[in-house]
Amino acid sequence: MGDEDREPVSLAEKLDRLFRERSRERGKALSANDVATEINIRAGEQVISGNYIWQLRKGKRDNPTKRHIEALAEYFGVPAAHFHDQRDAGTGGAPADRAGQPPELLEAMQDAGVIAMAARFMDMSAESRTAVLEMIDRVRKLEGLPDVGGAAAGPAAKPEETWRTAR
């Protein structure tokens, strides 16, 4: 299977594929400046620059704001989740199994900021992940938010065991 056939994984790959598809539809190359100009005209204000879109497409930047993701998604006619929907490479690109997850967790999994944090979190050691979870628990306590299982649950705990809401 060639690169054209495999499911894009990174934000840059997904954005590049959308650019190539739109360029084929138009019959001419689509530039980052073309996309930025159209997005900004539709919004009636400066939302994103062509240079930033180019950096995202080339993988030089990989942490766009929610507003940037939404603007790009609207331009290309895809849901915002398209840019961060994690795929399981072992199943040929099928979406990861999310059945039975609390709706609040599924919603959080669509947030670009949550995804960016998770991406940074994943390659840390178990000790570092525990330290980060402890810090998050402290901040939640400072904000008066409910306990969600604490760092004692550990990074290996199942999401449904640690994701609770205050109701």
Neighbours of 27 (CB within 10 A): 6
Number of domains in the chain: 2
19/61 same-domain check: yes
Asked if residue 67 and residue 108 are part of one domain, the reply reads no
Residue at 91 is within a domain = no
Q: What is the structure's pLDDT at 163?
A: 42
Confirm whether 26 is domain-assigned.
yes
Q: What pLDDT sits at residue 41?
A: 94
Domain termination site, one of 19, 49, 83: 83
Residue 135 sits in which domain range?
102-162
Mean pLDDT of 89-110: 53
* Same-domain status, 117 and 147: yes
- Is 6 within the bounds of a domain? no
CATH of the domain at 72: 1.10.260.40
Q: Which of 18-32, 47-61, 120-134, 140-154 has the lowest mean pLDDT?
A: 140-154
Residues 78 and 22 grouped into a single domain: yes
pLDDT digits (tens, 9 = 90+) for 12-48: 999 999 999 988 888 889 999 999 999 999 999 999 9
Look at residue 3 and tell me if it is in a domain. Answer: no
Instruction: Tell me whether residue 2 is in a domain.
Output: no
Domain boundary among 36, 55, 83: 83
On whether both 117 and 149 belong to a single domain, the answer is yes
At 126 the pLDDT is 82
Do 123 and 150 have their domain in common?
Answer: yes
Q: Is the pLDDT of residue 151 over 60?
A: no
Task: Classify residue 127: in a domain, yes or no.
Answer: yes
Residues 20, 74, single domain; the answer is: yes
Q: Does 97 reside within a domain?
A: no
pLDDT at 3: 53
Mean pLDDT value of segment 75-88? 75
- Domain final residue, candidates 53, 83, 113: 83
Does some domain include residue 148? Answer: yes
What proportion of the chain, given as a percentage, has pLDDT over 70?
Answer: 63
